[in-house]
Amino acid sequence: MVTAIHRKTIQNSITLRGIGVHSGKMVTLRLHPAEANTGLIFYLYKGTQKIRIPVSLDHVVDTSNATTIGDGSSNRVQTIEHLLAAVHTLGITDCIFEIDSVEVPIMDGSSLPFWEGIRSAGIRVLEETIEPITIANPIWVVDGDKYLVMLPSDELKVTYSIDFNHPLLRGQSYTTTLDESILGTDILPARTFGFLKDVEALQARGLAMGGSLDNAVVLTDDGYLNETLRYDNECVRHKILDLIGDLAVMGRPFRGHLIASKAGHALDISLAKCIMSQVTGNELTQFKSKRVPLFSKKQAAR
Distance, CA of 150 to CA of 156 (rounded, Å): 10
Which residue, 67, 66, 70, 50, is CA-closest to 58? 70
Q: Please indicate whether residue 257 is annotated as part of the active site.
A: no
Give the helix/strand (H/E) hosting 1: none
Is residue 163 left, alpha or beta, with left meaning phi > 0 and alpha meaning psi from -120 to 50?
Answer: beta
C-alpha triplet 262, 252, 55: angle, nearest 5°: 80
Measured distance CA(195)–CA(235) in Å, rounded: 12
Q: Binding-site residues for Zn(2+), please?
A: 82, 238, 242
Alpha-carbon 266 to chain mean position? 12
Query: What three-state secondary structure class fits 170?
Result: coil
Compute CA distances 229 → 91, 124, 181, 282, whole Å. 28, 34, 21, 44
Range list of H helices, 27-80 = none
Find the catalytic residue in 22, 88, 257, 265.
Answer: 265
For the stretch 258-295, what's the b/e string if a residue is b when 16 or more beta carbons lie within 10 angstroms of its beta carbon? bbbbbbbbbbbbbbbbbbbebbeeeeeeeeeeeeeeee
Write out the catalytic residue numbers. 265
